[in-house]
């Protein structure tokens, strides 16, 4: 092999790629037919069956990624590889289903071979292509066409700009549907229970200790009598009630301060030393809000109330650390 001296400026090449792809992406809103895009989204929203995405090669990779994004943002979908579909996987399709096919050329051989069978098996076919006159576009109820003028590849051969554009269009569809479905942070967390991303959206209600597990003592209970129920539950506090109303809390910190002041804990009642102005938050708040309040108030626990301001539990740093959110 002959060693060739090169004077490569790699970043110059990278910058040229960035510029080409960014320019192509910036043209998509103007190139797309607005009415067609809206109908495309409405077709997905009105679908009563399963939503399938199909592709092969680079377009297949894009379809699979878009399917994952849709599923995690409130639009459940299933990816099918076109090659596998021709060997039996078409059996999962039914007349209630909607199929979106990704093919930039719209003339991919593997797609065209199964296109007639797909049309018979599903309710409708939608497509995303780079050629509105392609066979795939003509056989789709609706087709979104990307007008990519050139690939970032200097030979204009390797799918680069076209793949990026197709991926961004898929992301745009996912976000449009997310907003239409009013998909919330809580919904997102439910779809990502095991991921660090989803854990950021845990609510206080998800981790709190319910009131049924918290000692609730009368205001007339002596400090000495309160020690055992507080320590046996291992929560470090008790709720203090007057008749049926919670009027304060008594914590192990309150107990420590009583001992430091050499107060007679056998004769003094909780009502005399409890904390009346305790910090609390609503159960629907995100855990991040609880962490922020704990840091600000230099405490390791907060009382939790519902939307009617009724005490429903306790959130502690202990539960937050156990969940591995931080």
pLDDT in tens, 303-313: 999 999 899 99
Percentage with pLDDT > 70 across the chain: 96
Over residues 256-266, the pLDDT tens digits come to: 888 888 888 88
**What's the token pair of residue 52?**
């399938």
Q: What is the CATH number of the domain that holds 289?
A: 3.10.580.10
Contact 250, 238 (CB under 8 A): yes
pTM (2 decimals)?
0.70
What's the average model confidence in pLDDT over 221-227? 91
**Does the pLDDT of residue 320 top 60, yes or no?**
yes
Q: What is the CATH number of the domain that holds 25?
A: 3.40.50.10490
Judged by average pLDDT, the poorest of 6-10, 52-56, 76-80 is 6-10
Residue 300: inside a domain:
yes
Over residues 32-74, the pLDDT tens digits come to: 999 999 999 999 999 999 999 999 999 999 999 999 999 999 9
Of 131, 150, 182, which closes a domain?
182
Residue 150: inside a domain:
yes
Contact 185, 286 (CB under 8 A): yes
Do 231 and 305 have their domain in common?
yes
Residue 88: inside a domain:
yes
Q: What is the rounded CA–CA span in Å between residue 204 and residue 206?
A: 5
Do 168 and 69 have their domain in common?
yes
**Does the pLDDT of residue 5 top 70, yes or no?**
no
Do 19 and 152 have their domain in common?
yes
What pLDDT, on the 0 to 100 scale, is given for residue 234? 87
The per-residue pLDDT of the chain, averaged, comes to 91
Residue 2: inside a domain:
no
Of 115, 147, 182, which closes a domain?
182
Q: What is the rounded CA–CA span in Å between residue 252 and residue 237?
A: 6
DSSP string of 147-171? Answer: -----SSTTS-SSSHHHHHHHHHHH
Q: How far is CA 274 from the centre of its chain?
A: 41
pLDDT class of 6 with cuts at 50, 70, 90? low
Q: What is the rounded CA–CA span in Å between residue 131 and residue 166?
A: 12
Do 70 and 155 have their domain in common?
yes
Do 259 and 228 have their domain in common?
yes
**Does the pLDDT of residue 252 top 70, yes or no?**
yes
DSSP string of 305-316? Answer: E-TT--EEEEEE
What pLDDT, on the 0 to 100 scale, is given for residue 7? 59
Over residues 82-117, the pLDDT tens digits come to: 999 989 899 999 999 999 999 999 999 999 999 999
- Please give the residue range of the domain that contains residue 210: 204-322
Distances (CA, A) of 35 to 140, 263, 305: 16, 77, 47
The total number of structural domains that make up the chain: 2
């Amino acid at each position: 092999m002959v060693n060739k001296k090169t004077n490569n400026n790699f970043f110059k090449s990278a910058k040229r790629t960035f510029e080409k792809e960014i320019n192509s992406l910036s043209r998509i809103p103007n190139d797309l037919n607005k009415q067609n895009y809206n109908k495309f989204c409405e077709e997905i929203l009105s679908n009563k069956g399963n939503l399938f995405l199909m592709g092969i090669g680079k377009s297949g990779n894009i379809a699979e990624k878009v399917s994952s994004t849709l599923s995690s943002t409130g639009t459940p979908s299933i990816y099918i590889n076109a090659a596998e579909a021709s060997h039996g996987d078409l059996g999962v399709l039914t007349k209630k289903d909607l199929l979106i096919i990704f093919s930039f050329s719209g003339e991919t051989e593997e797609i065209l071979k199964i296109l007639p069978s797909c049309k018979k098996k599903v309710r409708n076919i939608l497509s995303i292509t780079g050629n509105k006159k392609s066979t795939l576009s003509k056989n789709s109820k609706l087709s979104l066409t990307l007008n990519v003028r050139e690939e970032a590849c200097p030979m204009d051969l390797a799918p680069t700009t076209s793949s990026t554009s197709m991926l961004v269009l898929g992301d745009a569809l996912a976000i449009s549907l997310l907003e239409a479905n009013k998909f919330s942070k809580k919904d997102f967390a439910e779809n990502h229970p095991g991921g660090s991303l989803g854990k950021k959206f845990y609510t206080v209600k998800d981790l709190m200790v319910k009131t049924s597990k918290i000692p609730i003592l009368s205001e007339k209970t002596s400090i000495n009598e309160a020690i055992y129920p507080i320590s046996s539950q291992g929560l470090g506090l008790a709720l203090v009630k007057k008749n049926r109303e919670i009027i304060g809390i008594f914590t192990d910190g309150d107990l420590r301060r009583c001992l430091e002041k050499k107060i007679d804990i056998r004769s003094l009642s909780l009502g005399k030393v409890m904390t009346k102005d305790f910090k609390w938050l609503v159960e629907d708040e995100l855990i991040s809000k609880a962490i922020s309040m704990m840091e600000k108030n230099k405490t390791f626990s907060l009382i939790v109330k519902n939307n009617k301001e009724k005490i429903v539990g306790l959130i502690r740093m202990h539960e937050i650390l156990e969940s591995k959110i931080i």
